[in-house]
C-alpha cells in the first residue's frame, strides 16, 4: 500500500461553522455510522441536505417510528463542551486530520483531538499489548517506544493498562498519541487519569466518540481500528489468544499496515498470541531497528528525529510502606511470569515500594511459588 503523502501540497479545505455542526448532527443521528454518513453526503451533495432527507428515507425503508435526528442544540452543546475542554473537532479532509487515518476504508468523518496537534503530521508506530503485561514485557515496550521515538516516529496506543501505558510513558518526551474508546474528556482506566492529562498537554488525545461518552466493551474494537489506522505499523508486545491486541493486529493487516510481534516464552500465556502472529508471518521484533528498517522504505523519506531536552527517566518509586494488601500482591503476581525478570524492573513496573515487593517475593518464596535464578532474577514456578 502506498503511504499517504505527508508533504502533499494540495490545499485542504476547512468546514464552516455551519457545516461542522451539520456534520456532527448527521454522524450523531440514529443509525448513521461512517459508511452511511459517506453515502448520504455523496448522494445529497452535503450534510444539510442529507439531514433534511433522513425522515423520508427512514419512512421509505419501512421504519415504524420516526428516526431520531440529532438536534442543532444537542450538537452545539457537545461542540461547546469540547471547546471548553480544549479539544478541536477535526473533519476528514481538514489539515489536522491524520493522513494515514484518512487512507483507511471509511474513516470516521469527525474526530476530537487535543494536545500538540503538530504531532499528527508525523509518522506513527503503534505499540499495543496485554493489560496484564509482565514486567519484562513492559520494560521491552518502554525500550521500543523510546528507541523508535528517537527516529522521529510518534508512538500510538490505546491508554490501556500494562503494555499500552508503558509505551505512552516512554514516548511522552518525543511524541505519543492515545486513542480513546470513550469521549475525549472521559478518563479510562481511572488509574491513568494523570497520564491522560499529561498526554493531552504534551502528546495528543484522539477520539471519535461524543464528549462525555463512557466506553463500553463494544467500543474497544472500534478504538483499535483507529490505533492501527493512524499508524504505519503495529507492534504487538504481549497478547493472549483472545487478546484485544490481536484485533488491532488483524485490523492493521486489513488496512495494509505492517504487523510486527515480539516473541515470547511458549509457556507464558501472554506470548501465545504474539507467537501465533509470528507463525502467520508478522515481522519479528527484537529491537527498534527491526521495525524502522521495514518502515523506512515504505515511507520513502527520512524523518529527522525531534529535538528532545531530556531522555526518558522512569517515575520515582513511591514512599515506602510496610503494609501489604491483596491488591499489591496481585499486582506483583501479575507482573511476574515464567521468564526471569530483574527485581529492580519488577519494582519499577508495578510502581510499588521496594520493601513491599521484597515482602511479597518472600511470601511467594515461602509458599514454593517463586524461582530465584541468581543475579537478582526471579520468576513464578510452573504449576
Residues 35/116, Cβ–Cβ less than 8 Å:
no
Residue range 109-120, pLDDT digits in tens: 999 999 999 999
Residue 320: the pLDDT is 38
What average pLDDT score do residues 143-171 get?
97
Residue count of the chain: 383
Confidence of residue 6 (pLDDT cuts 50, 70, 90): very low
98, containing H or E segment? none
pLDDT digits (tens, 9 = 90+) for 320-368: 344 778 888 888 889 998 889 999 999 998 999 888 888 788 778 767 8
Q: Given this model, what pLDDT does residue 311 score?
A: 30
HSE of 293 in the Cβ direction (CA atoms, 13 Å)?
8
Where, residue-wise, is CATH 3.40.50.450 in the chain? 114-299
The CA-atom distances, in angstroms, between 360 and each of 36, 262, 338 are: 54, 29, 17
Q: What is the pTM of this model?
A: 0.80
pLDDT band at 4 (very low <50, low <70, confident <90, very high): low
Q: How far apart are CA 29 and CA 148, in angstroms?
A: 40
372 has a pLDDT exceeding 60: yes
Q: Which helix (H) or strand (E) holds 19?
A: helix 17-27
d(CA 138, CA 118): 28
Q: Is the pLDDT of residue 244 over 70?
A: yes
pLDDT surpasses 60 at 261: yes
CA distance 310 to 258: 30
Rg of the chain over all Cα atoms, to the nearest angstrom: 23
CATH 1.10.10.10 assigned to domain 326-380? The reply is yes
Q: How confident is the model over 183-217, as pLDDT tens digits? A: 999 999 999 999 999 999 999 999 999 999 999 99
Mean pLDDT of the chain: 88
Instruction: Name the CATH code of domain 114-299 (choices 3.40.50.300, 3.40.50.450, 3.40.50.150, 1.25.40.10).
Output: 3.40.50.450
| pLDDT band at residue 8 under the 50/70/90 scheme | very low
Within the chain, all domains assigned CATH 1.10.10.10 are found at 326-380
Amino acid at each position: 500500500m502506498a503511504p499517504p503523502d505527508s508533504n502533499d501540497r494540495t490545499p485542504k479545505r476547512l468546514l464552516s461553522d455551519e457545516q461542522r455542526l451539520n456534520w456532527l448532527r448527521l454522524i450523531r443521528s440514529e443509525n448513521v455510522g461512517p459508511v452511511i454518513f459517506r453515502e448520504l453526503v455523496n448522494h445529497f451533495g452535503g450534510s444539510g441536505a442529507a439531514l433534511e432527507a433522513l425522515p423520508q428515507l427512514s419512512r421509505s425503508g419501512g421504519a415504524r417510528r420516526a428516526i431520531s435526528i440529532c438536534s442543532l442544540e444537542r450538537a452545539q452543546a457537545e461542540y461547546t463542551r469540547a471547546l471548553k475542554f480544549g479539544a478541536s473537532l477535526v473533519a476528514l479532509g481538514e489539515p489536522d486530520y491524520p493522513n494515514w487515518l484518512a487512507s483507511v476504508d471509511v474513516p470516521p468523518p469527525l474526530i476530537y483531538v487535543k494536545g500538540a496537534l503538530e504531532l499528527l503530521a508525523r509518522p506513527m508506530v503503534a505499540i499495543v499489548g496485554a493489560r496484564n503485561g509482565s514486567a519484562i514485557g513492559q520494560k521491552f515496550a518502554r525500550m521500543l517506544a523510546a528507541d523508535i521515538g528517537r527516529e522521529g516516529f510518534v508512538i500510538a496506543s490505546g491508554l490501556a493498562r500494562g503494555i499500552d501505558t508503558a509505551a505512552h510513558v516512554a514516548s511522552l518526551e518525543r511524541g505519543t498519541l492515545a486513542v480513546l474508546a470513550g469521549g475525549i474528556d472521559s478518563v479510562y482506566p481511572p488509574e491513568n487519569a494523570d497520564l491522560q492529562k499529561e498526554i493531552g498537554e504534551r502528546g495528543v488525545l484522539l477520539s471519535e466518540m461524543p464528549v462525555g461518552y463512557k466506553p463500553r466493551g463494544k467500543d474497544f474494537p472500534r478504538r483499535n481500528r483507529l490505533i492501527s489506522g493512524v499508524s504505519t505499523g503495529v507492534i504487538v508486545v504481549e497478547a493472549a489468544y483472545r487478546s484485544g491486541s490481536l484485533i488491532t493486529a488483524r485490523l492493521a493487516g486489513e488496512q495494509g499496515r505492517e504487523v510486527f510481534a515480539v516473541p515470547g516464552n511458549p509457556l507464558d500465556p501472554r506470548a501465545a498470541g504474539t507467537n501465533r502472529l509470528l507463525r502467520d508471518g508478522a515481522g519479528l521484533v527484537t529491537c527498534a531497528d527491526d521495525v524502522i528498517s521495514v518502515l523506512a522504505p515504505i515511507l520513502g523519506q527520512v524523518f529527522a528525529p525531534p529535538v528532545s531536552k531530556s531522555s526518558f527517566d522512569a517515575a520515582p518509586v513511591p514512599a515506602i510502606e510496610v503494609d501489604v494488601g491483596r491488591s499489591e500482591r496481585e499486582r506483583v503476581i501479575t507482573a511476574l511470569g515464567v521468564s526471569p525478570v530483574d527485581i529492580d524492573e519488577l519494582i519499577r513496573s508495578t510502581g510499588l515500594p521496594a520493601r513491599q515487593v521484597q515482602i511479597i517475593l518472600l511470601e511467594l518464596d515461602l509458599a514454593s511459588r517463586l524461582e530465584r535464578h541468581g543475579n537478582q532474577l526471579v520468576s513464578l514456578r510452573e504449576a
